[in-house]
Structure 1
Amino acid sequence: MADLSRAMVTLSCALGDRLGLFAAMADGAARSADDIAGRAGADPRYVREWARTLAAGGYLEMEPSGEAFRLPPAYAALLADPGSPFYVGGIARLVPPLAAMVGPVADCFRTGAGLTPGDYPPEMYEATWRMSAKWLRAMLLDQWLPLVPGLDERLSAGARVAHLACGSGTALALLARRFPASRFVGVDRHELNVERARREAADFGVADRVTFTRVAEFADGLSGHHELIMAFDSLHLAADPADVLRRVAGALTPTGVFLLLETQCSTDPRENVGDVAAFLYGTSTLYSVPLSTPGPVVAGMLGLPQPVLTGMCADAGLTAPQRIAAPTPFNVLYQMRRAS
């Protein structure tokens, strides 16, 4: 019952984020369902049932009348303000589109086949855009780049940068705005992501120096030599991660760096337990494994721990992955270079 309850609370959180219900309660005042509905442009009867769900789950405080509800400040920072550094509300919005894929993934269980990015609902990508934009804006320029000595200076002078599985394009748009002398290319297997990335570049006013291309395979389109190549929370989706690393090694300058964000996990599955691991394994079952099947290496979301990456990098001609940050409980940021 606890797990079933959490499932319903998660779906309610997804609704609250999507409809702006949490934002309507962000000031911490006790509000009736009618008041919340009026602020969010929703129907009061639906809002009342939603609020009672989250009050029963401990997310909202219910007034003694049972008719007014309050979002505590700590929860508001997590759920109501996408600009907050603590905001995690968008994560819940991954669950409904993943749940919608249970049928197609069940067929994959029976056949051993895989799926393509276009098989998944657009709402899933919209949720990832929303979440990734937050941490990229907070971390990429001012926290991650300074961890690589000299990188800021080389990008300021003018260099080539590539982003594999570029998603919404936010990372390259941020970099292009900061480093106008450099040139940037993003590749992605999903046309929806490429279209979104092009809009992002236009919105940032950097479309003249950023190019986005749809590719068939993860590292297609990676040509020439780059001062910076990035892959954030995506290498495990490649059908052949080892081949991607070989291609990255061949596309780096002698001073170039590969920034890789991957799942924080152990080589021993007995150590990958608990709520975070269950969430990641479940997401991997419904998304990561289908997208990388029938590749020669179906890593899954927890299939590239540091020791495994170290072996792949050695074979690919890259230095061992150096851990330079752990930005979330889910991830580790590594840097690699061409092996001498």
Structure 2
Amino acid sequence: MQTSTLPASSTGSSATMPPVDEKKLNAFVGKMVGDLGAAASGALVLLGDRLGLYAALAGQGSATSTQLAERAHCYERYVREWLACQAASGYVDYDSATETFSMNPEQAAVLADPNSPVAMVGGYFAMASIYIDEPQVETAFRTGRGIPWGDHHNCLFCGTERFFRPGYEANIVQHWLPALDGVIAKLERGAHVADVGCGWGASTFIMARAFPKSKFTGFDLHAESIEESNRKAQHAGLDNLKFAVASAQNFTGLEYDLVTVFDALHDMGNPVGVASQICRHLKPDGTLMLVEPMAGDSLSANLNPVSRVFYAFSTMICTPCAMSQGLGIALGAQAGEARLRKVLEEAGFTRIRRAAETPFNMILEVRP
């Protein structure tokens, strides 16, 4: 991007500061314009999903703004402006000869298909809560207090489920559970499984459907999420599945063959205490499958686009949630394997290995 040269006084230069490099300045301003456009376009992604605009464009082929407005039962003038931003963002394609818009298969997989393994719209719903709840986080910065999960805007809860579910659908049964020693055989025979920190239960439902002979219990501290999970379980008619309100440090039940924690340990204020509770509730030959965000063991290893997303959510949601639980301990969403291993070893686990990974997650097999 080209920008005009700014006078020294406009850039804050002074006798005590080095001179501004115009080329670097222009490059950085260009980066920030791109980031600002992406941030502003997030609200339009929500509109496209809620109004069915992506689905109508991807499902019925190319359209003018008038045709898409008719399909989605919206006012054309608003749709026209929305489409212009989508085309400028590269989220839809534009044919200037016919003045029509369309979505290629790759765009549709990310934006129009909620069941695609690369569906990402859910992340934008979670992002909406970040902006809504920013004043709470500002207070947390100033006071050191935390923000409980349930104190966030409800966009966070549905957004988290929608963001993580496609990846879970594509990996839990197909790749992650088979990577654990002997676990598939137990599940097929009939095992007892606890899914700790289950939220809306996406992971729990996936496992319960795949292994009807096993019994699954999802636990979460957030009562509203458990209420939603139970409602969905009743509608699904699964008799091997139930949900209960419980913190990760006081969930109960039989000794479990398998305990799972999906993208949640780093949200907990006493991770060693949580891991110790899990260890106590595992059978001697049981397994903990710990799924955490992919991260290296140093900041320099995490300076990349994926970690950027995780650090942002960690600052606004994960770390405040952990801090709200009273001990001042917060792993953060980029804890890394070495730090996770230390937590697990302090809790009494002796066998830990990375069983699988994706660009977004590491999967640890953990045993007493």
- Look up the match of 1:72: 104
- 1:298 & 1:8 partners in 2: Cα distance? 30
* Deviation larger for 190-199 or 28-37: 28-37
Q: Which amino acid aligns with 2:158?
A: E
DSSP 3-state at the match of 2:199: coil
Task: Tell me by how many angstroms 1:150 deviates.
Answer: 2.3
Q: List per-residue Cα deviations over 1:145-183 (Å, max 9, x = no partner).
A: 222232222223332110111112232233333333332
Q: Map Cα deviations across residues 5-38 of structure 1 (whole Å, 9 max, x no partner).
A: 1112233223222322111111473312222222
The reply on whether 1:272 has 2:320 as its aligned counterpart is: no
Work out which of the residue numbers 159, 174, 192 in structure 2 matches 1:127: 159
The structure 1 residue matched to 2:178, chosen from 121, 146, 152, is: 146
Report whether the alignment pairs 1:85 with 2:124: no
Deviates most, 118-127 or 174-183? 174-183
1:290-309 pair list within 5 angstroms: 290-293=320-323, 294-303=326-335, 305-309=336-340
Please name the residue that 1:314 is paired with. 345
Matched, 1:161 2:204: no
Q: What is the SS of the residue equivalent to 1:26?
A: helix
Q: Structure 1 residues 13-22 or 112-121, which shifts more?
A: 13-22
Instruction: Report SS of the residue matched to 2:53.
Output: coil
SS in 2 for 1:85: coil
The answer for the alignment partner of 1:258 in structure 2 is 288
Paired with 2:307 and 2:181, the residues of 1 have a C-alpha distance of 33
SS in 2 for 1:31: coil
Match of 1:226 in 2: 256
Q: Aligned-pair distance for 1:73?
A: 2.4
Q: Which whole-Å CA distance do the structure 1 matches of 2:97 and 2:137 have between them?
A: 45
**Local SS of the residue matching 2:61:** coil
Secondary structure class of the residue paired with 1:321:
strand
Q: Do the aligned residues in 1 keep the contact of 2:122 with 2:158 (CA within 8 Å)? A: no
Distance 2:106 2:41 in 1: 17
Is the 2:121–2:162 contact (alpha carbons within 8 Å) kept by the matching residues of 1? no
Residues 177-232 of structure 1 deviation map (CA, whole Å, 9 limit, x = unaligned)? 333333222111112210121122223212x43231122x3332134310000000
For 2:91 and 2:40, the matched residues in 1 are separated by 12
Deviation, structure 1 residue 252: 0.9
Is the Cα contact below 8 Å between 1:28 and 1:70 reproduced in 2? no
Helix, strand or coil at the partner of 2:249: coil
What is the Cα deviation at residue 3 of structure 1?
A: 1.2
For residue 40 of structure 1, report the CA deviation from its aligned partner.
2.2
| 1:13 to 2:70 alignment | no
Q: State TM-score, norm by structure 1.
A: 0.91
CA RMSD of aligned residues (A): 1.9
* CA drift at 1:318: 0.8
Equivalent residue, structure 2, for 1:60: 92
Distance 1:262 1:34, change over 3 A: same
2:222 alignment partner in structure 1: 190
Alpha carbons of structure 1 residues 44 and 89: separation in structure 2 relative to 1, 3 Å: same
1:212 correspondence with 2:212: no
8 Å contact kept, 2:177–2:184: yes
Q: Tell me how far apart the structure 2 counterparts of residues 72 and 253 of structure 1 sit (CA, whole Å).
A: 50
Q: Deviations over 1:258-300 (max 9, x none)?
A: 0111111122112211222221111111101111114341111
Match of 1:49 in 2: 81
Between the aligned partners of 1:278 and 1:85, the Cα distance in structure 2 is 21
Aligned residue for 2:254, secondary structure, equals coil
> Which amino acid is the alignment partner of residue 113 of structure 2?
D
The structure with the largest alpha-carbon Rg is 2
Structure 2 portions without partners, runs of 5+ = 1-32
Letter in 2 for 1:241: P
Q: 1:229 to 1:201 in 2, by over 3 A?
A: same
Residue aligning to 1:109: 141
Once residues 177 and 278 of structure 1 are traced to their aligned partners in structure 2, the CA distance between those partners, rounded to angstroms, is 34
Residues 306 and 321 of structure 1 are in contact (CA less than 8 Å); yes or no, is this contact kept in structure 2?
Answer: no
For the residues of structure 2 that align with 1:40 and 1:312, how far apart are their CA atoms?
50
How many residue pairs get matched?
334
C-alpha distance 93-30 of structure 1, shift in aligned 2 (>3 A): same
Unpaired segments ≥5 residues, structure 1: none
Q: Does structure 1 residue 335 correspond to structure 2 residue 365?
A: yes
CA distance in 2, matches of 1:257, 1:153: 13
Distance 2:237 2:231 in 1: 10
Shift in Å, 1:67: 4.7
Amino acid across the alignment from 2:217 = V
